[in-house]
Amino acid sequence: DAKTTQPNSMESNEEEPVHLPCNHSTISGTDYIHWYRQLPSQGPEYVIHGLTSNVNNRMASLAIAEDRKSSTLILHRATLRDAAVYYCILRALNTGNQFYFGTGTSLTVIP
Amino acid sequence: GAVVSQHPSWVICKSGTSVKIECRSLDFQATTMFWYRQFPKQSLMLMATSNEGSKATYEQGVEKDKFLINHASLTLSTLTVTSAHPEDSSFYICSARDEGRGETQYFGPGTRLLVL
């Protein structure tokens, strides 16, 4: 399974943008990049996903490097409710749709 | 839309008993559901893939006789932890994929299991 590498933790000030990086140097051409976040004692919540092009939705933006070996989740204005563990996951096409979670990045938002 | 529920949300049981956890997709049909386990301060670990109408596929190292999975309908999968022991205490989370909505997996709120 293609692996992802994320920083263990990051801090951001409230109402400032946050850029959460993810390295996935062994990504294959058919791997989708997914981002989920998890608050304590809850199930993960979908944030965004993409394949090659940058993606935007109401929660965040996903910037994918041209060689696809890295990606960045962008929260445009961090709020206290964005404090969570953020997971970057690669999902291989045509292999059963399984998600293999890495260690994730614990985001702290400072008021 | 795309809500997944789990029941119970928490359970405490004695060592040696069996515990059943339900995972339901409330507003969509899911031919495939997934079961994860998460220990404190750790990431989610995929245990098995539950396929409607067929046997589950277990990840390497997960005992299929210990963790029985049944996916009898398009909206319900169950995980039974048989003869539970204290080391089985964990946070169990299921997810389901709504094939009509593409790539996204929707996760349940999790079930906290404590085996005494």
> Can you give the pLDDT of all 111 residues of chain A as single tens digits?
558 999 999 999 999 999 999 999 989 888 899 999 999 999 999 999 999 999 999 999 999 999 999 999 999 999 999 999 999 999 876 666 788 898 999 999 999
Residues of chain B found within 8 Å of residue A87, distances taken between Cβ atoms: 43-44
Cβ separation A49–B103 shorter than 8 A: yes
φ/ψ of A80, rounded to 5, equals: -60, -30
Q: A75 is written with which tokens? A: 């929260």
Cβ pairs A/B, distance under 8 A? 57
Q: What is the pLDDT of residue A94?
A: 63
Residue B75 banded pLDDT, cuts 50, 70, 90 = very high
Cβ separation B46–A99 shorter than 8 A: yes
pLDDT over 90 for what percent of chain B? 78
Residues of chain A found within 8 Å of residue B34, distances taken between Cβ atoms: 98-99
Cβ separation B103–A98 shorter than 8 A: no
Residues of chain B found within 8 Å of residue A32, distances taken between Cβ atoms: 103
DSSP one-letter code for B17: -
Q: How would you class A35 by CB atoms within 10 Å of its CB: exposed for 0-12, middle for 13-18, buried for 19 or more? A: buried
d(CA A108, CA B36): 25
Interface check B95 vs A, CB under 8 A: yes
Q: How would you class A21 by CB atoms within 10 Å of its CB: exposed for 0-12, middle for 13-18, buried for 19 or more? A: middle
- Per DSSP bridges, beta strands B90-97 and B76-81 are unpaired
With vertex at residue B58, the alpha carbon angle to CA B84 and CA B106, rounded to the nearest 5 degrees, is 90
